[in-house]
Amino acid sequence: MPGTATKVIVTGGAGYIGSHTVVELFHAGYEPIIVDNFVNAEKSSIKGIETILGAKVKLYEGDSGNKEFMERVIAQERGISGIIHFAAYKAVGESVNQPLKYYRNNLDSLLTLMELMKEHHIPHIVFSSSCTVYGQPDTLPVTEKSPKKPAESPYGNTKQICEEILEDTVNSGVPIKVIALRYFNPIGAHPSAEIGELPLGVPNNLVPFVTQTAAGIREKLTVFGDDYDTHDGTCLRDYIHVVDLAKAHVSALQYLGSKSEENSYDVFNIGTGQGSTVLDVINTFEEVNNIKLNYSIGARRAGDVEKVYADVSHANVELRWKTELSLADALKDAWKWQLSLKKN
């Protein structure tokens, strides 16, 4: 267990996954240092984090791709032991329309951090990657050795390129230990309902659309296609509770700290190892929250992968991490979070 002086920079630490990870880092004895420019996050999440922890957290407001700004953060916070890098633009559709914006931001921020890690001898980085690197896999479940497919969007391509940047840096001999965590589908919220997912505008992800429809913010939920090769015809995904996902980052840092070699590159799938369809999610949400959803079946949506779920045995064994929370838990917590937003 690390001591309280073990400082970790969390870029994008006010965002959905970042905020939950800050909470779990604190509980594990780390001192998280949040860096966020609030382009994809609300400042209210900082208050939520501090309410859960009963303590103040350190926050530097700025762009993690700005080298001068990050130099100041590192100088102020002496003894940084690692970085968890969440900060990135993440809307698939927007990335198709504005590819240069995505390549500039998502690549620059990582390049800046890697240069600073080399210059200031910061030994560890955990990178926020995605199962999008697999595309529509040839076989299921997906393992870390499954081939990467050409990206469906500039956003997805930035994840692939960032992984290559990390691996190439390690292969060049720079004394940095790297883990890329390939997330499947994070859902839910902290059980306290103090932090959760806050999509800007119309949600791109299923569960916020479900909760907003249940709350009357959206008139109806459209299920995109019911003629896929799944048990009920709807797309299948591996939905993981965001708290379980956050804990994987703590396990990743602890794993990096235990490795004897001075540089390494590892990739881990972070999911539940089980697939659930869109209708599974809707039915479970209705059941656990005792509420009926207004939804209808629509046409397939271009670019949707039919089914994907993770083989998580590598993370179970090497990181000594496994999920503890169910789909029902996640959907209960997501609805509790949605109701808390109506009160505020």
- Active-site annotation, residues: 155
Count CB atoms within 10 A of the CB of residue 203.
18
Count CB atoms within 10 A of the CB of residue 16.
25
Coil, strand or helix at 273:
coil
The whole-angstrom separation of Cα 87 and Cα 41 is 10
The whole-angstrom separation of Cα 8 and Cα 11 is 10
SS (H, E, C) 136-162: CCCCCCECCCCCCCCCCCHHHHHHHHH
Please check whether residue 144 is in contact with residue 314, taking contact to mean a CB–CB distance below 8 angstroms. Answer: yes
Please check whether residue 205 is in contact with residue 197, taking contact to mean a CB–CB distance below 8 angstroms. Answer: yes
CA distances from 258 to 32, 248, 300 (A): 19, 15, 46
